[in-house]
Amino acid sequence: MPLDRLRLIDELAAIVADVARVAELPRRICDAVVETLPVDGVGVSLMNLDIAGGRTLLGASNEVGAGIEELQYRLGEGPCVSAFVDNQPVLVPDLQTAEATVRWPMFTREIAAMGVRAIFALPLRIGMHSMGVLDFHRTRHGPLLEVVEALLVADAVAIVLFNYQLRQQQTEGMPDLYELSQLRHDQVHLAIGMVSGQLDIPNEQAIDLLRAYAYEHGEHLNDVAEQVVERRLRLTLDT
């Protein structure tokens, strides 16, 4: 059955309008979206290039989806990152091709252990402005035949999230989307500021140092940030 875009928008809008269950909004949106296409999971990330490390996972349909987003955040590379930076869909039917491994060497090496074989990342656009990315993943190789439907889904998600933001700005006490996110990175932002101040470097270089340390030591970026904030770890330019 063809995807009914207006019906999906209505369904997502009803979820957003359910103030009594606003804390469940990210999960409910992902649960609704994952049913629209033959995929194994979905993740929704929010992004802001004006902030160093300004990316967070709004929600995911399962732990694998959340892990994919967290991995890309930690490494600073992957289909989701590329889709946002280039502001265009990045469809990867096989993550272990030479093209994919050259483009995202660290990401493709680690994602293989998670059993994910294909990712389809679509920017969440309002006009020419992108507010984040919608990621679909599969545990099997193969192209996404329903590309048109996937673009319609991304369009619907972008519309309802944008409308939520508008309403939040006009409603006292209503949490913003970053406050609802499944994986928040408040510690990372604090650590970026500390490393930047300690080493007298730009925020962009500070997040690169944090990511490099996390990758080299096999730690989560949040854990490294916590060590920096609690002054149990001090990075250097040679890190």
In whole angstroms, how large is the CA radius of gyration of the chain?
18
Q: Choose the final residue of a domain: 161, 180, 199.
A: 180
Residue 135 lies in a domain: yes
147 and 207 housed in the same domain: no
User: pLDDT tens-digit profile of 209-227?
Assistant: 888 888 788 777 778 888 9
209 and 150 housed in the same domain: no
129 and 28 housed in the same domain: yes
136 and 215 housed in the same domain: no
* pLDDT reading at 53 higher than 80: no
Sheet arrangement for strand 90-92: 55-60, 41-47, 129-138, 118-126, 90-92
* pLDDT reading at 60 higher than 60: yes
User: pLDDT tens-digit profile of 73-109?
Assistant: 888 899 999 999 999 999 999 999 999 999 999 999 9
* pLDDT reading at 153 higher than 90: yes
Q: Report yes or no on whether pTM surpasses 0.85.
A: no
91 and 13 housed in the same domain: yes
- Any idea which of 30-39, 52-61, 103-112, 149-158 has the lowest mean pLDDT? 52-61
**What are the beta bridge partners of residue 92?**
119
pLDDT in the model for residue 2: 65
User: Whole domain around residue 214: which residue ranges?
Assistant: 186-229
Output the six-digit token pair for 189. Answer: 């932002």
Higher pLDDT, 207 or 220: 207
Which of these, 223, 146, 161, lies nearest to 9 by C-alpha position? 161
